[in-house]
Each structure stands twice: as C-alpha cells, then as structure tokens.
Amino acid sequence: MTILVFFLWSLLKVAVVTVVMLLGIAYTVLLERKLVGRIQNRWGPSRVGPFGLLQPLVDGAKSFLKEDIIPTGVYRPLYLLAPILALGCALISIAVVPFGEPNVGPGGIHFFQISDINIGLLVILGVTSIGVYGIALAGWSSNNKYSLLGSLRSSAQLISYELALGLSLVGVVLQTGSLNLRVIVEKQAEKGIVTWNIFGGLQFVAFFIYLMAAFAETNRSPFDLPEAESELTGGYHTEYSSMKFAMFFMAEYGNMITVGCVATLMFLGGWTSPMGDLMPPPQNILVHAFFPIFWFVAKVFCFLFLYVWVRGTLPRFRYDQLMNFGWRYLMPLAMLNILGTSLWLAYH
C-alpha cells in the first residue's frame, strides 16, 4: 500500500505546485507590467481591483475568449504541438526544485519538493534543452518567414548559451561534489550569507555568467532576438493567437521562474536564511516549516525584479554581437572559472 500513498502524495504535491506556479506566472506578468510602467514613468495596469491586482485574471479571460485563428498555410500537427511543448517543458522542471526544509514532514515525506533525485540539476538542464523545440517548431510550422527567422535565431542562440549556462554551474558542482539540489543547498547553509556559493564558494564570476546566459536562455531582453518585434514583427509567435499565444507567453515567464529558482539554489543558498545560525531557529513548528519558503520566494522575487529592471533599461543586442558575446567571452570565461575552481579545490 505504500506505493498508493506515495502516488497520492505525489499527485497532491504536483497539483499544489502547478497551481502555485501558474499563479506565480500570472503575477510575474503583472509585476513586469507594473515595474516597466514605473521605469517608463507611467502607472501600468491600475484599473482592475486594488492596484490592478486582479489584472492577470482579466488577461487570462481575454486570452480565452479571443478568436483562435489557425492560418491556412501552417503545418497543423506541429503548429498545435509547439505551444504545448513549450509550456510543458517550462512547467515540468519545477518538479525537482526543493522549496524548503526537507525534514519537517511526518513519515519521511518531503513536503516541499515533488521529487528528490540524485541528478536534479541535470534534469533541469535536460528539460530546458528540450524546451527549444517548442520555439523552433512554432517558427517552422507557421509557414511565415519572420517566424522561421525567429526560430532559427532561437535554436542557434539557445544551443550557444546552453554551453555557457551549463559550464557556469560546473564550478558549484565541483565545490559540492553532488548534483542533488537539496545537498547543494544544505552545503551552503552553515553560516548564512558568508557560505553561500556566490561569496563563500568564490563563484561570483560563475554567477554573472549564469545570469547572462539565463537571460539568453529565456529569450528575455536584451537577448530577445527570437521575438524582436521591431525586426521580426513577433518572431516565432507571429502566427499564434488567443490561448496558444498565451501558452508561449506563460512558458516564457515559467522559464524565468525556473531559472530564478536554479540561481537561488545554486548560488544564493536556496531556502536558507542569510543570517545562518546567528538567528535561532523558530520554535513554532508551522513557522519553522514556512520560514524557509519565505526566504526562497524572496530570493526568487529579487531575481525576477532584476529581470524586469534589465528589460526596462537595456536595448537589444544585434545578432552577431549576441553570438560573439556567447562564444568569445562567456564560454572561455566559464572555462577559466572551472579551471580556477578546480585549482583552488586541489590547493586545499
């Protein structure tokens, strides 16, 4: 019967995490609109609900009710498959992310992680690399030259920056000696902010490489060439409308959240508090369980804030600049970081 209990627990966790993730995506969109509005000296959405807080709901309803147009020249099966693939991959990788202390549940059940596996980090990278197909196929099947250009750009960009992204994480893995995300976080937990990988692990170079590669991986400005609206009208999603467009939109924000979660886990100490053991752990069991979640969400929020800030500030790269930057600067720098980290580890 244990297998049945396991299934039920997993189903419950999956349901809760999916709902939270979708809510997170909706409110990230709102956060972006609000913040970009303030950066550009306007209010952003403010009419629906207090401070425009119900705006995501209305946006969702609008996407649902819009007419769903399928252009005549498209290759139907792939045209329909592409948004599902994009959103699916964006949502799946959250399954291995630990949000909080593992040992608070009764009977060895991990409340705050759907599945705790040895290769958690690699699973996230693998699922992200499959996510390329959503964009690539969308552009190809649309039978539109702008879409095709967008998807060609995105597949080249994602392959190029995946290297820098993966290599920047190797330093952390070398320091921890494990690919298990929970172990990586627990290793950083000792003294709070001093032992976080970005400072204590001397991985600040890796952190900045990761940051830039992550911007490119999620097709966010200043690397948003696949959908550069001033050159390609809409890039890979030019021909998509209604809910299918909304799925690409959600996938983009879902990827942002996932990338933020990975940055938090790898470099910023995950769910641990920045004070470390200077602050005694709270006595109340409920507070003890949910305090780590607060830190985790706060860190991811900072990351998302940075995302929007950069989008509101920097202009878009040119395509050859993007490729040069990825291959000539980021990748060699990431390799040097690996070399430096391993020398440092060998020295100790």
Partner 1 sequence: MHLILFFLFAGFCLAGAINLLLQSHPITSALSLIVVMTSLAVLYLLLGAEFLAIAQVIVYAGAIMVLFTFVVMLLNAGREERTMGSRSARAVGFPAVVAILAVIATVILKAQGLGVATLGEGLTDASGKTNIEELSSVLFTQLLLPFEVTSILILIAILGAVALARHGSGEPQGNRERTGK
Gyration radius from the chain CA atoms:
21
If the CB atoms of residues 74 and 308 are measured against partner 1, the closer one turns out to be: 74
If the CB atoms of residues 24 and 166 are measured against partner 1, the closer one turns out to be: 166
Residue 301 CB burial class (10 angstroms; 0-12, 13-18, ≥19): middle
Among 152, 174, 202, 297, binds partner 1 (CB under 8 A): 152
3-state secondary structure 35-92: HHHHHCCCCCCCCCCHHHCCHHHHHHHHHHHCCCCCCCCCCHHHHHHHHHHHHHHHHH
Q: Which two tokens stand for residue 169?
A: 């994480």
CA of 333: how far to CAs of 18, 55, 212, 222, 323, in Å?
Answer: 36, 42, 12, 20, 15
If the CB atoms of residues 125 and 300 are measured against partner 1, the closer one turns out to be: 125
Q: How many chain residues interact with partner 1 (CB under 8 A)?
A: 33
CA of 205: how far to CAs of 164, 201, 337, 343, in Å?
Answer: 12, 11, 7, 15
Contact 234, 185 (CB under 8 A): no
Q: Is 3 in the site for partner 1 (CB under 8 A)?
A: yes
Which residues, numbered 156-195, are part of the site for partner 1 (CB under 8 A)? 156, 158-160, 162, 179
**Which stretch in 20-28, 33-41, 122-130, 231-239 sits in contact with partner 1 by CB under 8 A?**
122-130
Q: Is 302 in the site for partner 1 (CB under 8 A)?
A: no
Q: Is 126 in the site for partner 1 (CB under 8 A)?
A: yes
Q: Is 327 in the site for partner 1 (CB under 8 A)?
A: yes
Interface map 241-270 toward partner 1 (x if CB under 8 A): ------------------------------
If the CB atoms of residues 236 and 245 are measured against partner 1, the closer one turns out to be: 236
CA distance 224 to 228: 6
List residues near partner 1 by CB under 8 A.
3, 77-78, 117-119, 122-123, 125-127, 129-130, 132-133, 136-137, 139-140, 148, 151-152, 155-156, 158-160, 162, 179, 320, 323-324, 327
